[in-house]
Chains A and B, each alone.
Chain A
């Protein structure tokens, strides 16, 4: 459904941020994009939706396709209207609008006709807490509520695919669980494909079918949920699991770095 092929992104014509990223998200699946801070995860998402153009960035090489359409030639709003909606990092609500107004704005990306009332009911079905808040100013809601509004807003557009940028950011473990449960439910009921960018690898891999690991603007590792969960490097660096108390030889660290890769 979404296919990135050897994408290079440069900012200001000098800073190379993505150095050839290729990934593929099939229809009706969840893919996780993992990696540390500064690995280029958000830049990859912004490249897909064209937001990098507003930040003086450009895709200098490679192709990005969504359902066979070349996204590089489309503007951000056209991309959103074609059914690919990004939930930006840090929630990015319209802070002075009410919760319901925020959701209404989300319906702009809708392609088919459906009643606004039913759509709002659907959102309130997934996030019951938002119903009571519908007339509250969005900016004063709590972090978890804001994340719900942010996801709900994207969902109002009936997306074929959602790009979720760190939905767990700044939330308590319990809320993270809750949000991921809802994401999974949305995926199953709506059948929308999801590309999930996360630092919280264990949570992300719980719901993803396939995962990619990024580092320094490259994809260094990819595999199915099962493969990645069992991969020693991922366990150690992204899930924080290691054999405690044992002496560690740094020679064994990050085997994949020494393996030649052709991605």
Chain B
């Protein structure tokens, strides 16, 4: 029983990070209908940038984090302005392929500057001491991260639901032309989407980096986020939140019960199996927007 609770708790912690990274993909998909395969790369480059500002440049921790944040915003802006803007009006597939290229490009840049596969460690900015609660042992760091991610996701739910910009973004996501006719600047919406997305990738990268250390394997976390995003329904923010937690928990539970039976690690495949099963029953994902068709 304690094992199960422990798995649930750890799953929630990891799942919240999946939700956060997945949210970045959802924001871009919602407003531009582009599936951003480079989210993992953005996450990795964010983690490296924060490390670079703190350790290589030698800034104090808070300043290093803020500088990293600012450069992440910059990167998002540049990607939209010089990568995606040129392709507006082209088939969506070409834009999706560009994000794949971006992923490869970022991989190369990171390897060029910071080398391959060396684990870099942040100066400690979150307390790692363990906390015991109901026979579960969790590090305080994980708990803080969980609440940070929940807070940020909550913030975005409110942003999209009630703010003027959020409404514009949802409107443009539905119909670019009609949005333009209403006087919404689609360029601003696209820039905003990419900036928000890189920002989320940066936060996710720093939080993950503070747990596992910074390395080039970080971008693989995004591979775990793809099933999360699809499970949540691609366009739904509450969907990606819940799907992230589900996948996180399932990974740990399968690790607990399936691994001894199979005799190998099942963590990586379980999310995809669940995804396939869910998509058979609900093709739009758990909370996806069902196409409204009136005949």
A76 touching B294, Cβ below 8 Å:
no
Closest to B181 in A: A86
Interface of B is mostly: helix
Knowing A97-B170, A104-B167, say if A109 contacts B289 (CB, 8 Å).
no
Chain A contacts for B167, CB-based, 8 A? 97, 101, 104-105
Chain A contacts for B179, CB-based, 8 A? 94, 105
Chain B contacts for A101, CB-based, 8 A? 167, 170-171
B184 touching A77, Cβ below 8 Å:
yes
Knowing A77-B186, A105-B167, A108-B168, say if A95 contacts B174 (CB, 8 Å).
yes
What's the Cα separation between A54 and B294 when bound, in Å?
Answer: 26
Closest to B290 in A: A96
A51 touching B180, Cβ below 8 Å:
yes
What's the Cα separation between A108 and B171 when bound, in Å?
Answer: 11
Chain A contacts for B174, CB-based, 8 A? 94-97
Q: Count of chain A residues with Cβ under 8 Å from any Cβ of B?
A: 33
Knowing A101-B167, A105-B168, A140-B292, say if A80 contacts B175 (CB, 8 Å).
no
Q: Count of chain B residues with Cβ under 8 Å from any Cβ of A?
A: 21
Point out the residue from B89, B181, B289 that lies within 8 Å of A56, measured CB to CB.
B89
Point out the residue from B176, B182, B292 that lies within 8 Å of A139, measured CB to CB.
B292
Interface of A is mostly: helix
Interface check A49, CB cutoff 8 A: yes
Knowing A88-B177, A137-B292, say if A106 contacts B170 (CB, 8 Å).
no
Additional 17 contacts, C-beta under 8 A, given A75-B185, A85-B181, A108-B184: A75-B180, A77-B183, A77-B186, A80-B182, A80-B183, A85-B183, A87-B181, A88-B181, A96-B289, A97-B167, A97-B174, A102-B171, A105-B182, A109-B182, A143-B294, A157-B182, A157-B183
Interfacial residues, chain B to chain A (CB-CB below 8 A): 89, 167-168, 170-171, 174-186, 289, 292, 294
